[in-house]
Structure 1
Amino acid sequence: MNLEKIYLERCDKETEETVEIESPKFLDTSISYFKKHLNEFLYIESSTFNEIKVDALSIEVDDVFRTYMALFGLRAQKKHGEAIKNYLEEHLHTDAIKNYSALFSADEGLWEINLPLDYIEGFKEDMTIGQAISLTYDFVQNLLGHLQENK
């Protein structure tokens, strides 16, 4: 995954106003940044995301469960709902509540997915934001492969 051409914007969760536009160097920051700044989320755009049918990605810490979350819209048909939910159920590893969501937005024509990164194999709290983005990218790529297999 190539993240050279990337747009990063730290935003306030409550107002969605920009706190700071970040340089790609911010990708080297620990993902734990968001546990220290619970009021912020990171909005990320990259043309690389087109490969996985995602326009943009946001990363934050869930206010209730305190899990790291990746939020994105996945361009996939509504008919894939059961396959998407089954994949999430099978590939998120925890004994706790799996606080993911996958809702189809007819207005947007895509799946709005909230993905808890903590439960993806390979996630570590000391990883960088860039590594968390790569982990998310790989997870979504595998999900799309699953959808192709189950057509």
Structure 2
Amino acid sequence: MNYTIVDRCLKETDEVIEQQVFNVLQHPLTYLQTHQESFIYVESATFDEVNVDCMTIELDDVFQTYTALFGLRVSKDEEAFLKYFIETETNPTLAKHAILYAQADKMFDMNLTLEALDGFEANWTIEQAIETVVQLMRKYEAAREEAR
């Protein structure tokens, strides 16, 4: 996947700590345990193919789970289908997700627990986690097309 921006940012302020740190993508997810104060912010042209705005990967402070947060540019009237899709495509015993429509942005704010994704491995690299979320969104796009 071709990334245009990869930054490490402080959770508390969203301040960029390190810019264009493409090498961080090759670190295992455990990197986020040793850098809990920060998140990884990424942008990619590939995201446009699946209506994803941008993505952050972090370790959730409360649940201590790896989390992907991103904007999904689909209309509000798809909410029921989107929620059904996420609930059926993630492990229900591990699925901690939030799907909220942001009217101002005209997109869903998605918050997915990576551990709930099919095939999750604790030794995934940050890039593998991002790619898995993108694959899930490709599957969603295909399901949307089929449902039409």
Q: Is TM-score (shorter-chain normalized) higher than 0.5?
A: yes
Counterpart mapping for 1:16-27 below 5 A: 16-27=14-25
Matching residue's letter, 1:105? A
Q: Secondary structure at the match of 2:62?
A: coil
How far off is 1:55 after superposition?
1.9
Post-superposition offset of 1:94:
4.2
> Conserved in 1, the CA contact under 8 Å of 2:99 and 2:110?
yes
Q: Structure 2-normalised TM-score? A: 0.94
Name the SS for the 2:118 alignment partner: coil
2: CA distance between counterparts of 1:121 and 1:67? 15
AA aligned to 2:53 is D
* C-alpha RMSD of matched pairs (Å): 1.3
Q: Secondary structure at the match of 1:66?
A: coil
CA shift, 1:15, in A, is 0.9
Is contact 1:6–1:24 with CA below 8 Å preserved after alignment? no
Distance 2:53 2:87 in 1: 24
Separation (CA, whole Å) in 1 of partners of 2:36 and 2:143: 33
Q: Structure 2 residue aligned with 1:111, among 104, 108, 123?
A: 108
Q: State the partner residue of 1:13.
A: 11
How far 1:140 sits from its partner (Å)?
1.1
Q: Report if the CA contact (8 A) 2:96-2:116 is conserved.
A: no
Q: What is the distance in 2 between the residues matched to 1:116 and 1:147?
A: 22
Which whole-Å CA distance do the structure 2 matches of 1:66 and 1:23 have between them?
Answer: 24
1:27-106 to structure 2, matched below 5 A, reads 27-96=25-94, 98-106=95-103
C-alpha distance in structure 2 between counterparts of 1:145 and 1:115, whole Å: 19
Spell out, residue by residue over 1:91-146, the C-alpha distance to the aligned partner (whole angstroms, 9 max, x if none).
111424x3201111111110110011111011111111111111111011111222
TM-score by length of 1: 0.92
Unaligned ranges ≥5, structure 1: none
CA–CA distance in 2 between the matches of 1:9 and 1:32?
A: 17
User: Which amino acid in structure 2 is aligned with residue 59 of structure 1?
Assistant: I
